[in-house]
A and B are shown apart, each in its own frame.
Chain A
Amino acid sequence: MKFSVNWLREFVDLPENPEEIADLLTRAGVETENIETRGAKIEHVIVSQITASSRHPNADRLSVCEVDDGSGTKRQIVCGATNYKVGDKVPLALPGAKLPNGLEIRKSKLRGVESQGMLCSPIELGMGDEASGLLILSPDAKIGAPIADLFPTDTVLDVEITPNRGDLLSHFGLAREIAALTGKKLKSTPRESKIPVKKTGVSITSTRECPFLSARRIDNVTVGPSPQWLRARIESVGLRSINNIVDISNFVLLELGQPTHAFDADKLKGGINVRLARAGEKFLALDGRSYSLKADNCVVADQERAVGIGGVMGGEETGVTESTRNVLLEAAYFLPASIRRTARELNLPSDASYRFERGVDPEMVLRASQRAAELIQEIAGGTPVKEVNVAGSLPPNPADVSLRYEKCDRVIGIAIKPKTVDEVLTGFGLKKISAAKITKWKIPSFRPDLQRDVDLIEEVVRAYGAERIPGTDRSRFTPSSAADRAHDLESQMRERLVAAGLNEVRTSKLLPRERFAFGENAIELRNPLSEDHVALRPSLLPGLLGVLDHNIRAGAERVAIFETGRVFEPPSGAEKKRVAILIWGNVGGEVHWRNEKRRVDFFDLKGAIELARTGLSFRRGNHANFALAVEVTAGNQLIGLAGQLTNSLASTIDASGGVFVAEVSLDFPVSGLGSRTTFRELGKFPAISRDIAMIVPEDLTHERISEVIFHPTEPLLERVEFFDLFAGPEIGASKKSLAYRLTYRDRSRTLTSEEVNAAHAKIRERLRSDLGAELRE
């Protein structure tokens, strides 16, 4: 909310420097977000009156005005605005004036017509943001008077009021807070209403939603423009002046925090009543829009129809206009939850609903009514009736709260003198009503947020100053959790992939409507905000494809990326942890004098997958998006998919050459020790290696050959390495040549050549007989 420092000063003495006020409030939890200097501290700008206006002879968009500047001679001014009429009073910048935006005014000719100065818009005078037309001054402004007199310089504080502090949503409220924080006395407080009340004329049907209603008739008002001081006040905090009655209602809201509403009494049929709306009841609000009401919305109604949405907005048909003669001034207390629901359901937040839903001060309802009536009497010449009609009763005072000083020390962490605690709480308007070991405090009507001891303790922290509480060290031993172990395994995996040259990405878990493949069946949001974020990712792959797309557009020649994270499995939304890898482009990336020059292939992908998780097997599968689809299994369980995307899919993202992707589950049981590695004896005795080269049918797999080599087990065989693959016309069609190195070793002695030859021969024989391999010597 915006606060005028001048206005605050009517209630409390403030430091000269607005920064100091801002700092004081911010330290007490009332954050000042912005400080703005307002007002026309400008010389040579005066009040003038437009006495005549005619079309500019040479320009359609300009007009030539004759203005009275109070000197006795009329001035001719060329003007581009259209929002004025003859007789209006407007600011006139005389030649020699220097405007806040740096513009210097001189006598000049505009399209051949002399202009002896300039008529100004609000923004040109540094007042508000209005740039579309002239600043129309109040009719009571004195012609020839300096503008600076009408708009005294002011500072506007933009303050963030937290939702628990509805009591700060008014100038009086904030002044009261500042007084408490600085120990200063309030200069004035709104007087208690002395107007007699009469329990007739108004009624409440929905007593839960609206516990209290008041209405007061003010006769014979003259609706018209507001006097300059009133306009300046409400405009200083960003409201627009409408007419004197509406402005007064807004002024009282800004001053005291209590919304009021003025009806044109002659347009009401009978006394007003607050009731729940009928479902579907139509209502034309002051904002000019029609609303279809719900059965739990609370309305102010006359005998025939709803004339206001209670606590939210009045009706268009019964609003105050130029022709209004008699006014009915309504002031009420509405249940915060009800107002909040209504404003939200109708998507109609207003200054009034903002305050009601945060809780207004019940004791302020009639005071505000009285203040508004007095102002209407003073400004619009009305005559308030002697009594105010009321119905219902104001909510009770907030319950008393108990506090132990010892608890206060315990929560804050340092000893604070009971006397200090008492001073703070008393300063905020609380009254100590029991001084026993457990003190008891009466809470003021405007602080319903103070409900338990910790709320009072927070007040002590705010006033005492958080910076005066020294920090303490409470570190302690904590055993690691399952989440710790899972995190560490994931971290280690990420580091292995990074070491292998892959870049980690983090993509949004919310997928766009125009999503890439693999996003089918994703769980959709009920209330998305934009087409870019409409569903929860069921796979990491759409995100990785998006990253590939972006980087190809950005000119990348190689993309090697991975992501770990949660996916949401449709239709249950079960959250599963996965790792996904995508590689595309040239091996090694950038052009480099030592780089291997080839495209990445499936085996680059497979190697990366095997870095991510061990103990995996691969088998052929089928998938619509894959030209080569490979199922990844662990212990016979399908845990992922890998392969090369179809050309049609790859070409949608302009990826020439193969795009290789894999996605593998990371949800596996983690034991207390993680994956523990234990020591194996180093071979002390020399190993002997023998190579086997063979020609086999093309469709014979490495897996099958390995099986034959390893079974039955040859005890001396230590390891087998596959080191060459060749196919070509020299070998013959549908054939391939493979080469393996077999290493033999015994842990307890040196092997003889004869032993190795014997073992090796057995394996060679098996390859020949079981697989029909053509062995090369």
Chain B
Amino acid sequence: MTHPLEQVRDDALREIEAAPDEQALETARVKYLGKSGSVSVWGEQIKTLSKDEKPVVGRLLNEVRNLVTAALEARAASFREQKESGALARIDISLPGAPNEIGTLHPLTQMWERSIEIFRRMGFALADGPDIEDEWHCFDALNTPPEHPARNEQDTFYLSDGNLLRTHTSTVQIRTMQAALPPIRVIAPGAAYRRDELDATHSPQFHQIEGLYVDENVSVADLKGALEFFMRELFGSGTQVQFRPHFFPFTEPSLEVYVKSKALKGGERWIEVAGSGVVHPAVFEQVNKARSDKAYDPEKWSGYAFGLGMDRLAMILFDIPDIRLFAQNDLRFLRQFA
């Protein structure tokens, strides 16, 4: 036969399970486990039982109390969860996320970093030189003696001490060769200056990456390979690259580099992006003279050099219509490139 406690247990569990809310659950708790609850009262009753019955009913009472307590807790937990998920359900998750304000690198820096990254993969190290230069490094050493038609003093900013602002980063070619022995494989990012009126495509200060590779048997083919690789890395593998003979005093042969890519705006025409060429032996001779040695023997060493216009490349890549935007630094402009 069943003990009455078992009946109480079954009633309690059923009632707890059926409790519709926290209040009903509390009523059930008081009803069964309260001071005079129908489970609790057995604590007193047990004292009146015989010696034989006492342990049996005692065990049963413990069991029942534990079961009911656990059931109450489980039911209460389920009420809490319901409440929480109700609150979460009401959150408007479409509200803007907390502001993680992050700044942005200037588009020219981005252009520079991107270019440097590509050239480093090709095995170029960085080199550096001053913005304020002397005439020798800017012109004479680069095979542009006085009265040479390419020596554009009119387009050069001078300082009162006779020094000048370099008109190209090619000066770093000379400085690098003065300081180190071949083979040389460097790029030099930097500013250059020309006495140009500021307009949509000209700026008195502009930015370049100079490149120089001096080794044995460096050829036009090597130059083409390097710049074709660079341009395709920069503008995409579908980019066409064209080399057109040109004239620079410090390279011979000299080649201008053009790209064409459907991915670029106006990409159906050739866009000039760089000047390049095989280092003129007269440049090596000037370097040797300055070094007072024959380290750069033009019969043993040859090289290629190039200059990329960073402003121009960034304008092409980011579709920027006006070079003046770079120096204006309007935050609405800068933050487009975040």
Contacts and interface: CB of A to CB of B under 8 A. Distances in A.
Interface of A: 26-29, 31, 162-165, 336-338, 340-341, 344, 357-358, 410-414, 452, 454-455, 457-458, 461-462, 466-467, 469-481, 483-484, 486-487, 491, 494-495, 497-510, 523-530, 532-533, 536, 547, 550-551, 554, 556, 559-561, 566, 568, 573, 575, 588-590, 592-595
Contacts of B130: 575
B96 A593 contact: yes
A38 B220 CA distance: 40
A27 B195 CA distance: 30
B291 to A, nearest CB: 19
B332 interface: yes
B186 interface: yes
A510 B192 CA distance: 11
A705 to B, nearest CB: 32
B220 A466 contact: yes
Interface of B: 95-96, 98-99, 101-106, 108-109, 113, 116, 121-128, 130-132, 146-150, 153-154, 157-161, 163, 165, 183, 185-186, 188, 191, 193, 195-198, 204-205, 213, 215, 217-222, 224-229, 242-247, 249, 252-256, 278, 280-281, 302, 326-332, 334-335
Contacts of A476: 123, 183, 185
Nearest to B252: A454
B302 A503 contact: no
Contacts of A526: 157-160
Contact of A560 (B98, B103, B327): B103
A491 B189 CA distance: 13
Given A28-B245, A475-B123, 5 more contacts: A338-B147, A458-B254, A473-B229, A497-B103, A508-B205
Contacts of B186: 481
Given A31-B244, A484-B126, A508-B205, A472 B219 contact: yes
B204 A533 contact: yes
B213 A554 contact: no
Nearest to A357: B149
Contact of B105 (A163, A466, A498): A498
Given A554-B330, A566-B131, A478 B278 contact: no
B103 A471 contact: no
A1 B26 CA distance: 102
Contact of A412 (B158, B204, B219): B219
Contacts of B188: 483
Contact of A455 (B103, B220, B252, B330): B252
B14 to A, nearest CB: 48
Contacts of A551: 329-331
A358 B150 CA distance: 10
A624 B82 CA distance: 65
Contact of B123 (A477, A506, A524): A477
A480 B121 CA distance: 12
Given A411-B220, A529-B197, A506 B128 contact: no
Contacts of B131: 509, 566, 568, 575
A744 B174 CA distance: 59
Nearest to B95: A593
Which 8 residue pairs spanning A and B have beta carbons closest together?
A: A413-B221, A413-B219, A29-B245, A471-B225, A162-B247, A337-B147, A163-B149, A458-B253
Nearest to A535: B159
27 contacts: A26-B244, A164-B149, A164-B247, A344-B154, A458-B253, A462-B245, A471-B226, A473-B229, A475-B123, A478-B123, A481-B186, A483-B127, A487-B126, A491-B113, A503-B331, A504-B104, A506-B106, A525-B157, A525-B159, A527-B158, A533-B198, A566-B191, A573-B132, A573-B163, A575-B130, A575-B132, A589-B101
B126 A27 contact: no
Chain B interface main SS type? mixed
Given A481-B186, A529-B197, A471 B204 contact: no
Q: Which of A483, A529, A556 has the most CB of B within 10 A?
A: A483
Contact of A547 (B148, B249, B329): B329
Given A344-B154, A413-B221, A529 B123 contact: no
Given A454-B278, A458-B245, A509 B205 contact: yes
A357 B146 CA distance: 12
Contacts of B157: 510, 525-528
Nearest to A508: B327
Contacts of A592: 96, 99
B158 A411 contact: no
B159 A494 contact: no
B53 to A, nearest CB: 52
Nearest to A474: B222
Contacts of A550: 328-330
Contacts of B243: 466-467, 469
A411 B302 contact: yes
Contacts of A503: 103-104, 331, 334-335
Nearest to A559: B331
B219 A410 contact: yes
Contacts of B149: 163-164, 336, 340, 357-358
A338 B146 CA distance: 11
A412 B213 CA distance: 15
Nearest to B282: A452
B197 A504 contact: no
Contacts of B154: 344
A338 B124 CA distance: 42
B220 A483 contact: no
A88 B131 CA distance: 61
B125 A483 contact: yes
A504 B132 contact: no
A162 B246 contact: yes
Contacts of B126: 480-481, 483-484, 487
A529 B196 contact: yes
A479 B332 CA distance: 40
Nearest to A29: B245
Given A503-B334, A593-B96, A474 B329 contact: no
Nearest to B270: A26
Contacts of A472: 219, 221-222, 224-225
A486 B256 CA distance: 31
A454 B334 CA distance: 46
B103 A500 contact: yes
Given A483-B126, A547-B329, A410 B302 contact: yes
Nearest to B258: A26
